[in-house]
Amino acid sequence: IGRGGMGSVYLGSDTVLDRRVAIKVLNSAHLDAPSAIPRFIQEGRVCAQLRSENCVKIFDLGVNERGQPYLVMELLEGRDLAQDLRTSGKVP
Between these two residues, 58 and 79, which has the higher pLDDT value? Answer: 58
Is the pLDDT at 55 greater than 80? The verdict is yes
Between these two residues, 27 and 90, which has the higher pLDDT value? Answer: 27
Query: Tell me, what's the pLDDT at 87?
Result: 81
Mean pLDDT calculated for residue range 49-58: 89
pLDDT tens-place string over residues 4-48: 888 999 999 999 999 999 999 998 888 888 899 999 999 999 999
Region class of 89: left (phi > 0), else alpha (psi between -120 and 50), else beta:
left
Is the pLDDT at 51 greater than 80? The verdict is yes
Backbone φ, ψ for residue 87 (5° rounding): -75, -50
